[in-house]
A and B are shown apart, each in its own frame.
Chain A
Amino acid sequence: MPSLYHIPGPLMHQANMRSLTMLQALGITVRKGFYATDLPQINYVDLTKTDDEPVDIDDFRGRIEPGNGLLVSKQSPFNADGLALTLVRWGKKPDQCGRIVAHDSVCLSECQITSYVGVRIEEQVLFGPGAVIMDCDGAPADPRKPRGIDNLYMAPVVIERRAWIGSNVIILPGVRIGHHATVSTGAVVAQDVPPHTLVAGNPAVAAQRFTDPLPDGAIVWD
């Protein structure tokens, strides 16, 4: 690990402790070795209640499982808008609520995730700053339909192990990103990405496949 020279130096440890306290108060259990660089923004939205009623944190308890790290802001090399995780409860049943699960060796860096049904991020997924993931748009695609839960398209988003989500990527509802896939900077992913594939552009299309055998002496991941 090389040496670092920062202007200005953030008070990492203090921020970490403060965010741990905050996450515990919000019913979020963290993984071993967890760290956060700043206070993340956590939003709980309960559509089953009126505007005057307070949100009950117990309705959302355990629905967010962050990975091993949260890079919240001021640390990445780009001007991203900070980390925000939003859960929406749209029914009284226990599973009628968003869920964000990140497995081991995942660091959510300045991404914004909105969940109505479920976002799953598997092991060793790599995030660039400013990614946006949503499993529901929050409004019906047909503007003539009334706004309401019945007209929403909700579909879970899955990012399989060791994929790489580049900076400022947008992932739309129902997308499954295959293992070892790479999503290039600024791509808007509207359809499934097969494993071992590099996608780029808006809309994201396959640009390269990494299925050939690697040359001798290549330094591979174990």
Chain B
Amino acid sequence: MAVFRTIEPRVHERMADNENVKKMLLELGAALGPDFECIGLPYVSVHDATKKHGEPFDPAAMKGRLVFGGKLINTDITHCPGGPCRITLSKTSDDEKAGGRIVVGKTDLVNTSLVSYAAIIIGDDVHFEPRVVIMDSGGHPADRRLRDCAENRVQAPIIIEDHAWIGYGATILPGVTIGHHAIVAPGSVVMWSVPPYGSVMGNPAKSSKVYRKYLETQQA
């Protein structure tokens, strides 16, 4: 395949970025797959909420909370606006199974924003279009009479199963499970779980006759 682009990332810069980011992620105790590669610089913000104010940040305490099996693509390589992958993780408890964790299988993340207070689990071979937002907590209580503190925060893990397809700019909200081979249309805001082989569209994302028909014509 031959591609011409006006902005081609320079090879040596790409290599240097890749090595630097790899080093930094490994320092944070991340597990990186054999195919891991970073194209451009991601935005990584890691929070340790189990520590008190003024205590120094300890990267070793973050061990095993970030797992990337595929690539992180942070540059505008597609026909539409991209931006860096934005990985925001808040360690909210010492419990190994909860409290901020991002696990990505053999899947490339393209300009994806991930915010994790509970857990985000992404399977193998999920097709991400650019600018997807995945957040497992809104960060504040929905009832605005309550104070913004950890006790009031609503959080629920997100699971995206193998071979799912997430369209451009879709947003996935807390507690959603997207089944294997499911399709989420571009620009959808997914509030409810999607069954395996299902397809959803819109805000809020629902199974839609129009979209199913559209997908059928694509396959014909």
Contacts and interface: CB of A to CB of B under 8 A. Distances in A.
Interface of A: 1-8, 74, 76-79, 126, 162-164, 166-168, 180-182, 184-188, 196, 198, 200-202, 208, 210, 214, 218-221
25 contacts: A1-B53, A2-B48, A2-B90, A3-B48, A3-B58, A4-B57, A5-B45, A5-B46, A8-B41, A74-B43, A77-B45, A77-B113, A77-B135, A78-B113, A79-B113, A164-B140, A167-B171, A168-B171, A182-B144, A184-B173, A198-B142, A210-B142, A210-B145, A221-B144, A221-B146
Interface string B147-176: 101011000000000000000000101000
Given A3-B48, A164-B142, A200-B191, 4 more contacts: A4-B45, A6-B45, A7-B21, A210-B145
B47 interface: yes
A220 B146 contact: yes
A213 to B, nearest CB: 10
Contacts of B144: 162-164, 180-182, 196, 210, 221
B15 interface: no
Contacts of A3: 47-48, 51, 55-58
A192 to B, nearest CB: 17
Contacts of A198: 142
Contact of B131 (A1, A79, A162, A208): A79
Nearest to B49: A2
B43 A7 contact: yes
B88 interface: yes
A78 B133 contact: yes
Contacts of A200: 189, 191, 203-204
A167 B140 CA distance: 12
B103 interface: no
A3 B52 CA distance: 8
A74 B84 CA distance: 10
B147 A78 contact: no
Given A7-B24, A210-B145, A126 B57 contact: no
Interface in B175-220: 189, 191, 202-204
A181 B144 CA distance: 7
B135 to A, nearest CB: 8
A88 B202 CA distance: 33
A182 B142 contact: yes
Most buried by B among A7, A8, A126, A166: A7
B126 to A, nearest CB: 19
Nearest to A218: B146
A106 to B, nearest CB: 14
Contacts of B152: 218-219
